[in-house]
Amino acid sequence: MEKNGNNRKLRVCVATCNRADYSKLAPIMFGIKTEPEFFDLDVVVLGSHLIDDYGNTYRMIEQDDFDINTRLHTIVRGEDEAAMVESVGLALVKLPDVLNRLKPDIMIVHGDRFDALALATSAALMNIRILHIEGGEVSGTIDDSIRHAITKLAHYHVCCTRSAEQHLISMCEDHDRILLAGCPSYDKLLCAKNKDYMSIIRMWLGDDVKPKDYIVALQHPVTTDIKHSIKMFELTLDALISFNKRTLVLFPNIDAGSKEMVRVMRKKGIEHHPNFRAVKHVPFEQFIQLVAHAGCVIGNSSCGVREVGAFGTPVINLGTRQIGRETGENVLHVRDADTQDKILQALHLQFGKQYPCSKIYGDGNAVPRILKFLKSIDLQEPLQKKFCFPPVKDNISQDIDHILETLSALAVDLGGTNLRVAIVSMKGEIVKKYTQFNPKTYEERINLILQMCVEAAAEAVKLNCRILGIGISTGGRVNPREGVVLHSTKLIQEWNSVDLRTPLSDTLHLPVWVDNDGNCAAMAERKFGQGKGLENFVTFITGTGIGGGIIHQHELIHGSSFCAAELGHLVVSLDGPDCSCGSHGCIEAYASGMALQKEAKKLHDAGTALGLGVVNILHTVNPSLVILSGILASHYIHTVKDVIRQQALSSVQDVDVVVSDLVDPALLGAASMVLDYTTRRIY
């Protein structure tokens, strides 16, 4: 066993209350079951699992081949506030006998439901260690208060996001007892989309329904404002009826107000409407496929803002129930609505779109981290919790240097000769780099990019690097909004009108950014190099070709047709040599590595041509700094400065011209696209 001070197996009790928490707990239960030499597993089922009106969902636990040790009927029917309180009380009455009989070393409790509060209260009072899953998150309604109350009772915490981890720290929880693992359900989600799904769609929605042409609706009451949430549900159904698409509606949960919501469904005839399928429960594996291939998901369930982001499916989040959740760009919020019009407009905006896949809530490796964490629990340690008042200084969980080390990007540099992939940290350190020869055909090239990125992502897990996204630097003209290479350089064959974003995003479930290599070099200087903190500067790349990028008012200039900063094709002589672009007299025809080889030109002449191009840029955009990058930069800099003194206006002659000190500007620039965008919400 792991070195945890224990000389016996850890007895783990997993208590599940409803279909939603089982989807998060099941992957952990399967993991525990595969390691019988370390763990004994007891399963306790209570809450809405055992109610016929909510699908008797305990059966799916049996179908997963788990032995249910105890079934506890704890729900007092009524579906109002008093019934919720009475249900908590009933659970508190019944649980002590169960826990006395099982005598678990640790109880695993999930989330923020009132049943979970009863579980945590019972275990804490009976001196049983509690591991709380998904603490530290912020949503809305009474769930927030319950979640944070369970946090204060729990001894160990498994959270899904960096923000949740920071919230737990701010709540004075012991840093050493917090694990940032990601959401366990993502371990199943991220390998699910490519499975057979058509039979599942037909089963639940009908034989005539196609992928991306139906809606999944899942809406629950808001216990702190029941009347308004019922009105919102009524407007949602009106909008869905008007939108006229096949819709799978799941019945609401058992919270106060659910009975009134069901009445609204029946009043509008949803159960008999030809466009609707109303169901109490869908097995999680099938539910995954349904939301992955839906045209839209609508409602206020946490699965909309959490799990659905893994597939890039459009989501319309209604009301305040998930108001504090972190969300991907696939989520459109409708905070309030007086009529169906606003919801209907949201449906027209979202339906059928495809967004980049989001991994805010996990990377598919949560369960191995959780099992390792469980093995590390030392039962010899004192049971009494310790709180950090105030937070302990210099603790690694609060140390920004540690956060910057682990948040990372996958950077891809597609050159004329080599294809390189690297794991790049927030500080600009290349943690690991992979290099292969760039294949000559499109199919071989795209397959190699995917293979190298998958390999690098797997290695990142071992290196404790959380990959936030993928940035790609490539030659040619690029549409960065769509992630498409429009036209390539002659050095890279079969590379025109190529969509790079879609295959990478679909395969790795990560957001993807693509840009020209010259622009990437400028972005690298802005984040990691000599352009850091400057409002205006220009980067020239001197290598096989000549390229560059322009930063103006802190932003990269792309131009109306993504052709800005083609600095190698500034004309410096009307009767100069032929250029690869079809023109003649361009800087690239004089100063590129290809030109030097072809014409055997003197470095001084080449440097003069480059210097004239720099003068043109000084007179056009008036930057405060010019950075020369690439293998020829150090050979050209003195000649360039001489030309500026001789040819430039006096007002720009004092502009600094420097040689870049970045070793891999293309990779660093590709990484900066990811790191700059994905961390804006964090820092």
Q: Which residues are catalytic?
A: 517
Distance between CA atoms of residues 348 and 296, nearest Å: 10
Contact between residue 178 and residue 397 where contact means Cβ atoms under 8 Å apart: yes
Environment class of 87 (CB within 10 Å of its CB; exposed 0-12, middle 13-18, buried 19+): buried
Contact between residue 270 and residue 277 where contact means Cβ atoms under 8 Å apart: no
Q: Where are the alpha helices (DSSP H) in 171-308?
A: 185-189, 198-205, 226-243, 258-267, 284-292, 302-305
Contact between residue 411 and residue 514 where contact means Cβ atoms under 8 Å apart: no
Q: Pairing relation of β-strands 68-72 and 156-159?
A: unpaired
Kind and range of the H or E run holding 548:
strand 546-552
Dihedral of CA 97/98/103/107: which sign?
Answer: negative
Contact between residue 46 and residue 97 where contact means Cβ atoms under 8 Å apart: no
Identify the CA nearest to 558 among candidates 512, 518, 499: 518
Distance between CA atoms of residues 614 and 587, nearest Å: 10
Contact between residue 107 and residue 131 where contact means Cβ atoms under 8 Å apart: yes
Paired with 71 in beta bridges are: 45
Contact between residue 187 and residue 27 where contact means Cβ atoms under 8 Å apart: yes
Paired with 474 in beta bridges are: 414, 516
Distance between CA atoms of residues 129 and 197, nearest Å: 41
The number of CA neighbours under 13 Å toward the Cβ of 345 is 6
Dihedral of CA 76/78/79/83: which sign?
Answer: negative
Question: Which residues, other chains included, contact 639 with Cβ-Cβ below 8 Å and sequence gap of 6+?
Answer: 603, 604, 607, 608, 610, 611
Identify the CA nearest to 554 among candidates 614, 481, 624: 624
Distance between CA atoms of residues 536 and 189, nearest Å: 44
% helix, strand, coil for the chain, step of 5 = 40, 20, 40
Distance between CA atoms of residues 97 and 68, nearest Å: 16
